[in-house]
Structure 1
Amino acid sequence: FAPGLFEILQSATPPTIAWILSLSDEIPINSWGVYYCLVFEKKGYPTLVQIGCSTNNYRGLRARIYSHRDRQAIPTLISAAYEDTYHLSEVRVLCFCPIPSAGNFHTVRALVIALESVFSCLFWAMRKTDVGYGFGNMCPFSKDDFEYAGLCGHNSLLDPIQYLELSPQQREENATIIQDKNKAYMKDYGRKKRADPTPQYKASYTLQNRKQRLATKRRQQKAVEDQTYRCDICDVKARDKSVLRLHNLSPRHMEVLERGKGDWHCDPCKRSFTAKSYFTSHTKFKGH
């Protein structure tokens, strides 16, 4: 839980924007949790706040927050705020936990959704102040005292939570099935988008590549150093699996497979030849 959270709940006055901004802006990795999304600011208008949770199976909080920043899969009220020229300002995390094992997904998801509902009520991040949303009079503060307006349109506890009746083993099996379906869907979706890309898809794809470029380069350098993708036959260290696959289909690799390694070596090209005539011919090519 965020530092100072218990004290603010014991206070006679509701949390302020300043208190929200005093929380750490670090987004934990490999975690589920409730995020306090100080979603929108617009000069001369009230700040809008949304409380939500993320229970993405494999990327957690970061996946959900990235989708907000990229304006993907966002709620209707948030989309309307964007159209009204509000902009995303800050994101703060109220509480989080490690992403659970597949067998515990649904139990922990129920807990996280319950916490989302609790914080939405206590901090009144709901859209209207004259509607109960199933909370009754549980909010400890006067709704008129909050210095921000809410963007939550419903009580998350009213949404059904599936698979709670299953055993951990059944949940593991179900998670595997869902994961396989998601992979197949995303593969097909990506293929269709690449075949007929929209301007929005191109922009999103370019932005994502830019974000991942440095991490990809580091990963490839480490793979070369560790010789993760190595062709022992040709003494080639590839940077990733796709490059190694292309090498294995190359004429150079096929030639070594067919003729084997010989006693005549070309060190600059890292090639060997079974006969001197082959070696001599090789040295006369521009590729050498």
Structure 2
Amino acid sequence: MALNGLAAVRKDQSRMSEAVAIYEDILGRIEESGHTQLPTYAGALNDLGVAHLIMENHAKAAGYLQRSLDAMEHVNRPEDEALFEENRALTTISLAQAHRSMGNLDRAAELYDQGQRELERLYPDGAPQLGVVLNSQARLAQDRGNLPAAIDFQKRSIAMLEKTLRGDHAHKLVPMVNLARLALTQGDLALAEEWAGKAMAMADRLYASGAPHPLHVNALSALAAVRMAQERREEAATMLGFARDMLPRIDSVPRSTSDRIAGQIGELCADRSRPPLSVCRQRDE
């Protein structure tokens, strides 16, 4: 479907409000036609749920994703049964992410485990999808206060993605940034610097020549946090200034991303006894 392709392009461009509008149009057309027994209906519900998940509209995301799973119980099964089962597993994992973000950790754990088991059955030798769910398991372990387990999951996620994806890829960048942040939280500055540096280099290769992207902002934020911990304030200020300047040029920036940048700048500028940094002067103007 041409509209579906256009929505996917807009999502890849981080133009999420446009992507959501297109996905809503697709869903409305399917419901109006009465073809809700086709796999495309469950797919449209999933696509809309994932779009809301990216925009951090977690309750809306959970609603669409649950409807997608419910629809999968009643749709006409396609000839490619393995692809259908993979899509069901990925929808389950996305629903787990929505529940985790809403604080429903037990439900999230149940759904993550269910989705991971299904993917491991489908891909016994590994797949990028398994790298993504391992990253999600890391976030859940962190929410539960188990930092050693979270770091282990992030390392396994990166290893799986390195094994199954060639070259630079956004899927690799996400757990690299997350591992840097986790290491910093645990006080392992060397590990944090290693992975923040790798993430920054990859983000530059992926996004420096194109339109600003939230993942580029996240990489800048992670390395800036390391530089702040190292008392390299000027370097951190430069990175955070770049990140802040990117935000207005990104459609539908996740609230957590903009809040993190604002919080880091606030922390950097809080010490009035030190010479003012440019990023602080610009903030105060």
- Normalising by structure 1, what TM-score? 0.28
Greater RCO, 1 or 2 (C-alpha within 8 Å, sep 6+): 1
Larger strand proportion of the pair? 1
- Normalising by structure 2, what TM-score? 0.28
Query: Whose Rg is larger?
Result: 1
